[in-house]
């Protein structure tokens, strides 16, 4: 009896440890799924705000303002004991980080979206891991040994993502007809495809440029964290400089427009700015590569956008 009881206890402990390890490993996958699903919602909401006449330059200013207010208190409290001394080198790096992301990559992303659709632009971002991997290899953050299996997988994945982006630009597929939208959105998709086909190439080039800027942000962030390891403080500084640089760019580009373009009310514009700032906070504070889960984001956007088109 005692031996049997010990076996049962050992079996129970083994099962509990296995479940704990499984849950621990599944957390990353679930977190990435949540993050990419939220990004999909952000792309749709921002596109709706742009359709209402909101400039993506102004949107970026409000987004970074909300993000700065959201992150700064946490950074001041949680990093007060571990924050290293600010130097001119770190200051310049934070300004460069905000230049790459959000200023350049986000504006290029929304410009690309204006020439096509949220689905196409998000799908083009599948080349992000390829560009990031290539740049990481150049700066020796990644090692490639073609004789090893994991290096072969990285190279093959890079080739596949770039090839997929090229095919996506050149090929044209059928509309996605879901059960609850059957027969309702064929005409809408046809009109949308015809109006955007001539701008697909321009959208693809802008998306590629945005991916390059985002990859530059990832590489520079890796180097910056070595000398300034406080992620919250670095995120707050990046958002602040993104606000300053974005405001300067918006004032230069939108100076001819009326003050009404800067006004924000309880509408889709406010929702887009606040929603985008929250996930900007998660994106910068959480050290998970932005290239993970891109296919899920594209699928989510396709489904959401497809459902939205039936309401028009």
Please report the pLDDT score of residue 196 as a whole number.
47
**Angstrom distance (rounded) from CA 240 to CA 41:** 24
Angle CA 179–185–186, to nearest 5 = 105
Is the distance from CB of 277 to CB of 106 less than 8 angstroms?
A: no
Please report the pLDDT score of residue 154 as a whole number.
79
Around Cβ 7, how many Cβ atoms within 10 Å? Answer: 10
* pTM > 0.75: no
Q: What are phi and psi of 166, to 5 degrees?
A: -65, -45
**Angstrom distance (rounded) from CA 74 to CA 77:** 5
- pLDDT tens per residue across all 312 residues of the chain: 566 666 666 677 777 777 777 777 777 677 767 766 777 777 778 878 888 888 889 888 988 898 888 889 988 998 888 888 889 999 999 999 999 988 999 899 888 888 887 777 777 877 888 888 888 888 888 888 888 887 888 788 778 877 877 776 667 666 656 554 555 445 444 445 444 445 888 888 998 999 999 899 989 998 999 899 888 899 899 999 999 999 999 999 888 776 767 877 788 888 888 877 766 555 555 444 444 444 444 444 444 444 444 444
Would you state the structure tokens that stand for residue 306, as one six-digit string? 């497809």
| Residue tagged 């700032």 (tokens) | 277
Q: Which of 241, 218, 209 is nearest to 108 (CA)?
A: 209
Would you state the structure tokens that stand for residue 99, as one six-digit string? 């230049």
Domain ranges of the chain: 60-309
């Amino acid at each position: 009896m005692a031996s049997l009881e010990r076996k049962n206890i050992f079996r129970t402990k083994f099962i509990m440890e296995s479940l704990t390890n499984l849950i621990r490993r599944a957390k990353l996958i679930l977190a990435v799924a949540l993050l990419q699903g939220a990004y999909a919602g952000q792309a749709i909401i921002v596109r709706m705000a742009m359709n209402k006449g909101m400039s993506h330059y102004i949107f970026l200013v409000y987004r970074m303002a909300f993000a700065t207010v959201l992150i700064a208190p946490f950074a001041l409290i949680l990093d007060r004991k571990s924050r290293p001394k600010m130097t001119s080198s770190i200051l310049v790096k934070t300004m460069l980080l905000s230049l790459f992301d959000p200023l350049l990559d986000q504006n290029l992303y929304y410009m690309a979206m204006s020439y096509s659709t949220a689905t196409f632009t998000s799908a083009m971002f599948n080349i992000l891991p390829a560009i990031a991997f290539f740049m990481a290899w150049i700066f020796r953050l990644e090692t490639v040994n073609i004789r090893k299996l994991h290096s072969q997988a990285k190279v093959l994945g890079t080739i596949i993502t770039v090839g997929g982006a090229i095919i996506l630009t050149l090929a044209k597929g059928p509309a996605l007809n879901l059960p609850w939208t059957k027969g309702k959105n064929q005409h809408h998709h046809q009109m949308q495809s015809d109006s955007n086909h001539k701008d697909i190439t321009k959208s693809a080039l802008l998306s590629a440029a945005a991916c390059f800027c985002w990859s530059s942000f990832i590489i520079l962030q890796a180097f910056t964290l070595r000398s300034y390891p406080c992620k919250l403080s670095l995120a707050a500084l990046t958002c602040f400089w993104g606000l300053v640089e974005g405001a300067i760019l918006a004032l230069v580009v939108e100076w001819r427009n009326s003050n009404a373009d800067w006004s924000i009310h309880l509408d889709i514009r406010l929702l887009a700015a606040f929603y985008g700032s929250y996930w900007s906070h998660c994106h910068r504070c959480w050290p998970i590569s932005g290239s993970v889960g891109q296919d899920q984001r594209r699928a989510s956007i396709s489904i959401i956008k497809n459902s939205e088109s039936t309401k028009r």
